[in-house]
Chain A
Amino acid sequence: MSTVFDFHGAPGTGWSQPEPISTDSGQIPERLRRKKPPNWPRASEPELVRHYTGLSQKTFGIDTGFYPLGSCTMKHNPRVNERIVQMPGIDRIHPLQEASQVQGLLSIYYEMQEMLAICSGMDSVTLQPVAGAQGEFTAIRCIQEYHRSIGERNRDKVIVPDSAHGTNPASASMCGYQIVEIPSASDGRLDLEALKAAVGHDTAAMMITNPSTLGLFETNISEASRIVHEAGGQMYYDGANFNAIIGKTDPGRMGFDAVHYNLHKTFSQPHGGGGPGSGPIGVKDHLSKFLPTPVASRRESIEGDPIGVGDGYCYFWQDVGESSIGKVQQWNGNAGAVVRAWAFYRRYGCELERMSEFAVLNSNYLRNRIMNPDPDVVARIHCMPKEGAHAHLVMHEFTLSLSPVKETNGVTGKDVAKRLLDYGYMSPTLYFPQIVPECLMIEPTETESKEVLDKFAADFHSVLCEDPEIVKSAPHTTPVKRVDEVWAARKLILRHPITDSED
């Protein structure tokens, strides 16, 4: 297979640049001078355009096909957002420019802080954290400083349900907390008795997402908040599943003290092969003074103020003050993601709840289609999966357990996931949450049509009807066949050896 290191143009004939403005470079002391150049490829633009176009064609994105990856909210990314972030007013801006030079950017930051606070029922928002996990870390740091500020330094435990995302315990652990994992109840929901047994004078916080990773709304969430608060702990809302509830309820009403938002899930920042993300957090008033610094703020314009954006306000960076935890990213977060998310939210405005309505409708519709095949199809299916959790209705995502199928003919969740690739789909999230055996987690999002959902359900049934050997050896039509992950971990070939280099 060819790589970028197979390009061997003549030295110095690639992409051209202007000459240096002087020949002062002779001043670098000999000892500091690089002796051997890096073995980078020598390639021309025409070669590289074809190389990377070829690589893109071996990459599956939302633009390629249905991407029902549970917990990741793989919705369509509107293209105007990409056009906007190419503007020099964002791409060619330095984060340390004076506020008078970035009034437009500050106004967008301010509007986003306000919008996120409104949608979540929080009092203050920072846009600095650059990923969901960093948002979790930031919020737990704020909670940690809050407890220290009131002299409660003995609180060294954070409670997470066993269905939580792995980032929750990892983030709390990085702040120095011990993790107390509590088991889910038999219906997959939060077990209040287990929670009561877990809380105590050493509880710093509970981290939970609602709806849960099973796609179930935690109906006793208010009671859970009461239990944790009574023990002196804080309630943290993992916003990974925020797409399910906007305009219908919010973490503030449920009793949460802090929340993170995933702008790359709910607000369509493209996932870009794994990032960038953006993980702003919102907090109630008592945690505001611990937020990272600075946040966008504004006051009414007075004479002598810089020319603003024409709304009568002067925008500025507000230092959060002495209690602030400082910085979690060295600048003001992923501004490009904030601007994209702003453009996305403006598309919905006061109708953001339509987004959640259709996300939940699509999820329930697809679940119903999958679990209730037509009778002629039922007759051909070897074995049906079962629900990951028993519930009349789910929220924006749902889980299936392939355990019965595995027991019947040895076809695992992974096999089904790989076979779906042959049908032109991205696989659902596999083997998560871990409490559902042979789990497939499916989240269709609101940007898929009924026809796509119907077709996916039909194709899913086709897989269940197929010769198990075909499914077990899938995929068959992808650029490579099933990849040996154990081989990769054993050989650890983590870079090109560049043995055929001309140097």
Chain B
Amino acid sequence: MVDQIPNLGRESEMLEELGLTSMDELFANIPQGVRRVEPLPLPQPQSEEQILEDATRLLGANVHLDSRPSFISAGLARNFVPTMVPMLATRGEFLTSYTPYQPEVSQGILQAMWEFQTMVSELVGLPISNVSMYDASTSAAEAITCAVRVKSKKASQPSSVYISELVPPHRLSVIENYTQGVGIDLHKLPHNENGTLDLDAVSSAAGSCAIYVEQPNALGLLDEGLLGLREVIGETTALIVGVDAVSLGVIEPPGTWGADIVVGEGQPFGIGPTAGGPIYGIFACSKEFLRLMPGRIVGQSIDSEGKTAYTLTLSTREQHIRRHRATSNICSNETLIALMGAMHMALLGPEGLEKLANRVFSATSTTLGAVTSIPGVELVSPDGCFFREFAIRIPGPAKEAIESMDSEGVLGGLNLGTWWGDMSDCLLIGCDEATTEDDISALSNALGKWIEGASK
């Protein structure tokens, strides 16, 4: 018996008022030729107790990241989310509200998003932020289409965008889907032997609409050379930078070294990795891009009595008004997760952010030191400085190493062969604020054991 319908069992009195005698008559407008008469071949309805029992059993069959030493990141963080965050964000008023089209009864969520915009703006060093995109990849993709809209008229390469070849392939795939139909040619930017961006090659991107690079790059490398990019590409090309949001607690924000648009995964602030979603994309930019940027924006305003108020603004960019000429099709975004992010950021404060970044940075350095001291392990980008992740080359297939470490109870990272065919002997090892000395020992032992066995 279903239990979410208050009028169940009272349908006849309601039908009577409509002059009807059966529920079926309500659907009389559906032509017989397309009517479904047979019942849906689905299981019997369940009670809350039964659903919870099944969910506990099924989700309990998953191996979760906190149950063992875990070194898998690849752009998501096994973070610690303060308890306050989910408890407050799931208050019914936040949880069950829709997009705040009626500002008079939505001041709370609007103000929270305006505060979120401010904190993101401060974090990345640019004046404008929207209230979130779906994830880092769609933020990057729509940053590129936005930059082309703004820059193509004055660009000498009006349809070209250059992308670092060290962008993870799943993110690149999203970018390709978003750019393929609107006349944008994507070009790759190569890297030097040591993993840094080839700045000589970047000069060919001058005059294009935009370049997109990531700091750190897909292999966790912090590239000092990116700080000179603006000089290389000149003023007519947009500089779009993808970031690890937490790293900005210790790393110079791209807004201070010339970035026009900063994007990234917001997830480390606010929500667990949650199997890949819901998470949220950060999108921040300079004023030049404001009127052609995607996504919702909250602005401060006044009410009819002059009192401070908040409202969605610049909606004329959006699909519900501009339709096919909109700057994006985005409607639903990730507001609730951005709200969680705002709460987490506010709780951290400036010193807490720096400490969090230092925790991730030191966990990365310590893990790197331990792993690279294993005979046979080589750092893919030697002499580099890394945040959250680093790549190593091992004497044998990464796939087998992962399986072997798994049997030792260690989630030993990502097989980079799944991203790039020529890196099938490489592992991407991810660290976070929760990485412990014991975790690192377990990883080193498991990896060392496999290498010893493999070399026999």
A278 to B178, CA, bound (A): 18
Answer whether A40 and B277 are a contact pair too, CB < 8 Å, given A49-B84, A67-B98, A447-B5.
no
- Which of chain B's residues have a CB closer than 8 A to the CB of A4? 115, 342, 346
Name 15 A/B residue pairs within 8 A (Cβ), A-sorted: A20-B363, A21-B436, A28-B222, A40-B122, A59-B94, A61-B93, A86-B86, A94-B65, A134-B138, A170-B323, A177-B181, A277-B332, A329-B134, A347-B4, A426-B105
In the complex, the 10 A-B pairs of residues with the closest C-beta atoms, listed nearest first: A331-B276, A272-B336, A176-B181, A89-B59, A63-B92, A95-B276, A276-B278, A335-B275, A277-B332, A55-B108
- Is A261 interfacial (CB 8 A cutoff)? no
Digit string of B1-36 for contact with A (CB within 8 Å is 1, else 0)? 011111110110111011000010011111101111
How many angstroms between the C-alpha atoms of A360 and B57 in the bound complex?
Answer: 35
Q: Which residues of A283-330 are within 8 A (CB) of B? A: 307-310, 325-330
Interface string of B196-216 (1 = CB under 8 A from A): 000000000000000000000
Q: Tell me which residues across on chain A come within 8 A of B174, comparing CB atoms.
A: 326-330
Q: Which of A34, A270, A275, A361 contacts B333 (CB 8 A)?
A: A275
Partner of A329, one of B60, B65, B98, B277: B277
Give A76's nearest chain B residue, CB to CB. Answer: B4
Within the complex, what minimum Cβ distance (angstroms) separates B342 from chain A?
A: 8
Task: Find out whether the CB atom of A96 lies under 8 angstroms from the CB atom of B177.
Answer: no
Is A18 an interface position by the 8 A CB rule? yes
Which of A18, A119, A131, A417 is within 8 Å of B330, CB to CB?
A: A131
A residues in contact with B301, CB < 8 Å? 483-485, 487-488, 491, 493
The interface stretch among B232-240, B354-362, B371-379, B388-396 is B354-362
- B74 on interface, CB distance cutoff 8 Å: yes
A481 touches B307 (CB 8 A): yes
> Is the beta-carbon distance between B98 and A74 smaller than 8 angstroms?
yes
Contacts of B354 in A (CB 8 A): 34, 37
With CB as the reference atom, state the residue of chain A lying closest to B59.
A89
CB distance from B324 to the nearest CB of A (A): 4
A28 with B334, Cβ < 8 A, contacts A361-B26, A483-B303 known: no
Q: Which residues of B contact A136 (CB under 8 A)?
A: 329
- In this complex, the member of A82, A174, A348 whose beta carbon has the largest number of chain B beta carbons within 10 angstroms is A174
Interface residue? A465 (CB, 8 A): no
Partner of A28, one of B5, B113, B250: B250
CA gap between A136 and B271 in the complex, in Å:
27
B289 to chain A, nearest CB (A): 12
Q: Which chain B positions have C-beta within 8 A of A141? A: 177, 181
Could you tell me if B321 and A118 are in contact, using CB atoms closer than 8 angstroms?
no
Query: Is B275's CB under 8 angstroms from A45's CB?
Result: no
| A53-B323 in contact given A272-B94, A353-B40 (Cβ < 8 Å) | no
B93 with A56: CB separation less than 8 A: yes
A9 to B351, CA, bound (A): 11
- B121/A495 in contact, CB under 8 A: yes
Known contacts A84-B52, A327-B174, A495-B129: A95-B76 contact under CB 8 Å: yes
Give A166-194 interface residues, CB cut-off 8 Å to B.
166-167, 169-177, 179
Which residue of chain A is the closest to B65 with respect to CB atoms? A92
Residue-by-residue, is A460-489 near B (CB-CB < 8 Å gives 1, otherwise 0)? 000000000000010100111111110111
Provide the bound-state CA to CA distance between A289 and B281, in Å.
28
Taking a contact as CB atoms under 8 Å apart, the answer to whether A58 and B273 are in contact is no
Nearest-CB distance from A422 to chain B (Å)?
9
Contact assessment for B84 and A45 in the assembled complex, using a CB-CB cutoff below 8 Å: yes
In the complex, A151 has a CB within 8 A of chain B: no
User: Which residues from chain A contact B105 at a C-beta distance below 8 Å?
Assistant: 58-60, 421, 426, 475, 478-479
Whether the Cβ atoms of B324 and A173 lie closer than 8 Å is: yes
In the assembled complex, how far is the CB of residue A165 from the closest CB belonging to chain B, in whole angstroms?
Answer: 8
Residue contact B45 to A58, C-beta cutoff 8 Å: no
Q: How far is the CA of A247 from the CA of B62 in the complex (A)?
A: 33
Complex formed: what's the CA distance from A173 to B122 in Å? 34
Query: Which residues in chain B, 74-108, are within 8 Å of chain A measured between CB atoms?
Result: 74-76, 78, 82, 84, 86, 88-108
Report how far A295 CA is from B329 CA in the complex, Å: 24
Residue of A nearest to B105 (CB): A60
A499 contacts the other chain (Cβ, under 8 Å)? no
Are B277 and A495 in contact (CB-based, < 8 A)? no
Q: Across the interface, do B35 and A248 meet the contact criterion of CB distance under 8 Å?
A: yes
Identify whether the interface residues of A are mostly helix, strand, loop, or mixed.
Answer: loop
Residue in A closest to B30 when the chains form the complex, CB atoms: A249
Q: Which chain A positions have C-beta within 8 A of B292?
A: none
Report the bound CA distance from A82 to B87 in whole Å: 11
- Residues on A with C-beta less than 8 A from B51 are 80, 84, 343, 346-347
Asked if A133 and B329 sit within 8 Å, CB to CB, the answer is: yes
Residues of A within 8 A of B62 (CB): 89-90, 93, 101-105
Indicate if B259 sits at the interface (CB-CB under 8 A). Answer: no
Task: Please tell me if A408 contacts chain B, counting CB pairs below 8 Å.
Answer: no
Say whether B361 contacts A276, CB under 8 Å. Answer: no
Interface contact B302-A487, CB-CB below 8 Å: yes
A25-B361, A494-B300 provided; 13 other pairs, C-beta below 8 A? A14-B349, A37-B249, A83-B52, A88-B59, A93-B274, A118-B41, A217-B30, A248-B36, A272-B336, A276-B337, A483-B303, A484-B302, A492-B290
Chain A contacts with B in 329-379, Cβ cutoff 8 A: 329-337, 339, 343, 345-355, 357-358, 360-362, 364-365, 368-369
Q: Are A38 and B123 in contact (CB under 8 A)?
A: yes
Nearest Cβ distance between residue B444 and chain A, in whole angstroms? Answer: 14
Chain A nearest Cβ from B349, distance in angstroms: 5
Interface string of B48-67 (1 = CB under 8 A from A): 10111011111111111111
Q: Give chain A residues whose Cβ lies under 8 Å from the Cβ of B95.
A: 61, 63, 77, 82, 270, 272
The one of B136, B222, B311, B355 in contact with A20, judged by C-beta atoms closer than 8 angstroms, is B355
User: Does B192 sit at the interface, judged by CB under 8 A?
Assistant: no
Q: Is the CB of B168 within 8 A of A491?
A: no
Bound together, the chains give a CA A330 to CA B275 distance in angstroms of: 11
Contact, CB under 8 Å: B94 / A351:
no
Q: Is the CB of A245 within 8 A of B63?
A: no
Give the residue of B43, B96, B278, B436 whose beta carbon is less than 8 angstroms from that of A349: B43
Q: Which residue of chain B has its CB nearest to the CB of A276?
A: B278
**Contact A480-B103, Cβ < 8 Å, known A96-B72, A337-B277:** yes
B359 near A484 (CB under 8 angstroms)?
no
Any A CB within 8 A of the CB of B437? yes
Q: Are A334 and B278 in contact (CB under 8 A)?
A: yes
User: Which positions 1-48 of chain A face chain B at CB distance < 8 Å?
Assistant: 1, 3-5, 7, 9, 11-12, 14-15, 17-25, 27-29, 31-35, 37-43, 45, 48
Please judge, given known A-B contacts A9-B349, A217-B30, A275-B335, whether A449 and B100 are in contact too, CB under 8 Å. Answer: no
**Which one of B29, B97, B297, B356 contacts A393 once the chains associate, using CB atoms below 8 Å?**
B29
Interface residue A243 (Cβ < 8 Å from any Cβ of B): no
Which of A12, A86, A92, A179 is most buried by chain B, counting CB atoms within 10 A of its CB? Answer: A92
Give the distance in Å from the alpha carbon of A361 to the alpha carbon of B180 in the complex. Answer: 45
Q: CB distance B319 to A170 under 8 Å?
A: yes
A21 touches B435 (CB 8 A): yes
Q: Which residue of A lies closest to B66 (CB)?
A: A92
Q: Does A198 contact B (CB under 8 A)?
A: no
B280-315 residues at the A interface, CB under 8 angstroms = 290, 296-305, 307-311, 313-314
Q: How far is the CA of A172 from the CA of B319 in the complex (A)?
A: 11
A456 on the B face (CB < 8 A): no
Using an 8 Å CB-CB cutoff, how does the interface string of A82-122 with B read, 1 for contact, 0 for none?
11111111111111111011111101100000010011000
User: B27 to A336, Cβ gap below 8 A?
Assistant: no
Given contacts A32-B385, A60-B105, A447-B4, contact A12 B334 (CB under 8 A): no
List residues of chain B with CB within 8 A of the CB of A3. 111, 114-115
A167, A330, A418: the one contacting B171 at CB < 8 Å is A330
Known: A58-B107, A332-B276, A336-B278. A166 touches B15 (CB 8 A): no
Partner of B277, one of A133, A253, A336: A336
Asked if B97 and A485 sit within 8 Å, CB to CB, the answer is: no
B359 touches A108 (CB 8 A): no
